[in-house]
Amino acid sequence: MPAIPSSPLEPVWVEFATLLPERGEFHPDHPLGCHRRRIPDRVVFEHLVDALVHGSGYERIATAGCSDCTIRRRLKAWAAAGVPERVHAVALAAYDRIIGLQLADITADGCITKAPCGGDKAGPSPVDRRKSGLKRSTATDGAGVPLGIVSAGANRHDSPLLGPTLQAATGQVGTHWPDDVTVHLDAGYDSNVTRALLDGLGLHGEIARKGVPTLVQVGKR
């Protein structure tokens, strides 16, 4: 008897499919009651997995059976229905049961990514000649497992995004938090506002001091 299924993608799809909203084979608003059949959700799901694995754009992943426009439209619809958050919560709960989340130590930081297609949250990037970009603020557990993610314009500072990021992590983890949690932050969060935020949430803070080099920065390279 095999230890794992012949297709590891199949159990993932079964879990994912239970979270999708029900849709008919044809669009209900079509005047004749019929229309070109929708691309099955399973096909779009497999294309999204290919995009995540290969790190390629949707144009490169698209095939004759599923265009890049279809992938974007379906992904936008799933995001509006809250499917990604529920999938993430299910994955975190399963990971916690099998391996265990290290929630006593939380790390939060932000990074800037490109946003060539723009969007409501995109903003001018200060490190890319003011091209369209995103700031992604992420909180992870002690092993680097992502817990909560918040996006904003690339010109936003990391510090104001800390509160929404921790709230997003709390919404995804639920009741699995231990009694004592320490949040580790770099010098960009060294302010009384951050400390007051952590105190209000009942969290401990380990924040690097501005102007004080960390251990990895001491000495010559």
CATH fold, domain 101-217, is Transposase Inhibitor Protein From Tn5; Chain A, domain 1 (3.90.350)
Q: Using 50, 70 and 90 to split pLDDT, how confident is the model at 116?
A: confident
CA distance 5 to 84: 24
Q: Is 90 exposed, middle or buried (0-12, 13-18, 19+ CB in 10 A)?
A: middle
Q: For residue 145, give the nearest of 95, 179, 209 by alpha carbon.
A: 95
Single pTM value for the model: 0.78
pLDDT band at 53 (very low <50, low <70, confident <90, very high): confident
Each as own residue / partner, the long-range contacts of residues 74-78 (CB below 8 Å, 24 or more positions apart, any chain) are 74/39, 74/41, 74/44, 75/44, 75/48, 78/20
Those residues with Cβ within 8 angstroms of residue 140's Cβ, 6 or more apart along the chain or in another chain:
106, 107, 108, 146, 147
Provide the pLDDT for residue 26.
66
For the segment 139-186, what is each residue's pLDDT rounded down to a tens digit? 999 999 999 999 999 999 899 999 999 999 999 998 778 889 999 999
pLDDT of residue 215: 60
Q: CATH 3.90.350.10 residue ranges in the chain? A: 101-217
